[in-house]
Amino acid sequence: MSNSSLVTYTKISPNRTSPRNHKIDTISIHCFVGQVTAKSGCNAGAFTKYDPDNGASCNYVVGHDGSTGLCVEEKDRSWCTSSGSNDHRAVTIETASETKDPYKVTAAAYAALLDLVTDICRRNGAKKLLWFGDKAKTLAYTPKSGEMVMTVHRWFANKACPGNYLYNLHGEIAAEVTKRLGGSSGTTTPSTGTGASSGAQTAVNYTVKVTATDLNIRSGPGTNYGSKGAIKPGIYTIVAEASGTGASKWGKLKSGAGWISLDYATKTGASGFTASKAVTVGSTVTIQTGAVYGGLTTSRGAKVPDYVSGKNRRYTVKQIATHKGVQEALLKEITSWVALSYLTVV
């Protein structure tokens, strides 16, 4: 089992398990939370000091300047994602980033990250990199010969890692790496029923309000489609809906620019209809079927169970706040945050 020839600096961490007990079939990208270089990242105190209880490491560090460091050889398991089973099968990559949400990375770091992930996949026999955007589906899927999957730290611990900037680029990373490897370019999810795939489009006509400043426009309905840049805050018309990876529902922009996740947009009105009554503190509301939880915990993005949503379950709005650019309500009876776009005043 070889290591990447792209490495410009090596400092092997004592925090590792040798050898790993599973073949490499996973990529786990992390944000370093600091604009380090390969050298300074590999020499971080948590990586260089042996600590069997709280020590950390990674296989590679990608610096803000595009440098690449080796901390743990690929033949060994790093201590990186708060999950031994994941680390035994994953090559883990810490990427230099800003220190606050959304933990953006430099163009040089992103380019080096793409090169490194492509190299890792190629040397480990993969021609297709898959991003499902869902923990349960990913962990239930067994990669076929020539496939690798992507996982994220936030699935295994109460952390923001890899940050929303890199998280929202996972579909693009999977598509670009697969393209470079010469694999199927149509989709980065498998054609079997195991994976998440885009659903049929439904024609609609309504407007939404976008307040987030880093919401990606996708070329198709899902994070497995490439990003076409970020949409600016404002009011937009949606002309089609579809299901897809990474969101409960995707909306097609009337301008033709692409698709956005409707989880981060608030419906404001519809052609021929009056906009729904505004949700305020004290409102009695129902939760629409297909809603996902908000807030800032690891449950964010998880589907609201059917027995909690629906017209027959009513809740009281205790508080309204904006989380990650999305207006959300804290519902008194279930002590959970839900986006206003999923609520109906009764």
Domains in the chain: ranges and CATH? 9-181 (3.40.80.10), 202-270 (2.30.30), 284-345 (no CATH)
Q: Is the pLDDT of residue 152 over 90?
A: yes
Q: Is the pLDDT of residue 231 over 80?
A: yes
Strand pairing class (202-210; 68-70): unpaired
Question: What confidence score (pLDDT) does residue 188 get?
Answer: 44
Question: What confidence score (pLDDT) does residue 192 get?
Answer: 32
- What is the arrangement of strands in the sheet containing 216-218, beginning at the earlier edge strand? 227-230, 216-218, 259-261, 247-253, 234-244, 202-210, 266-270
**Residue 59 and residue 30: Cα distance in Å, rounded?**
11
**Residue 175 and residue 303: Cα distance in Å, rounded?**
26
pLDDT in tens, 177-222: 999 998 764 344 443 332 334 445 676 778 888 887 778 888 888 8
**Residue 328 and residue 315: Cα distance in Å, rounded?**
14
pLDDT in tens, 8-49: 999 999 999 999 999 999 999 999 999 999 999 999 999 999
Query: Which range is most confident: 56-65, 157-166, 225-234?
Result: 56-65
pLDDT band at 227 (very low <50, low <70, confident <90, very high): confident
Q: What is the 3-state secondary structure (H, E, C) of the chain?
A: CCCCCCCCEECCCCCEECCCCCCCCEEEEEECCECCCHHHHHCCHHHHCCCCCCCCCCCEEECCCCCEEECCCCCCEECCCCCHHHHHHEEEEEECECCCCCCCCCHHHHHHHHHHHHHHHHHCCCCEEECCCCHHHHHHCCCCCCEEEEECHHHCCCCCCCHHHHHCCHHHHHHHHHHHHCCCCCCCCCCCCCCCCCCCCEEEEEEEEECCCCCEEECCCCCCCCEEEECCCEEEEEEEEEEECCEEEEEEECCCCCEEEHHHCEEEEECCECCCCCCCCCCEEEECCCCEECCCCCCCCCECCCCCCEEEEEEEEEEEEEECCEEEEEECCCCEEEEHHHEEEC
Question: What confidence score (pLDDT) does residue 292 get?
Answer: 82
Question: What confidence score (pLDDT) does residue 325 get?
Answer: 60
pTM surpassing 0.75?
no
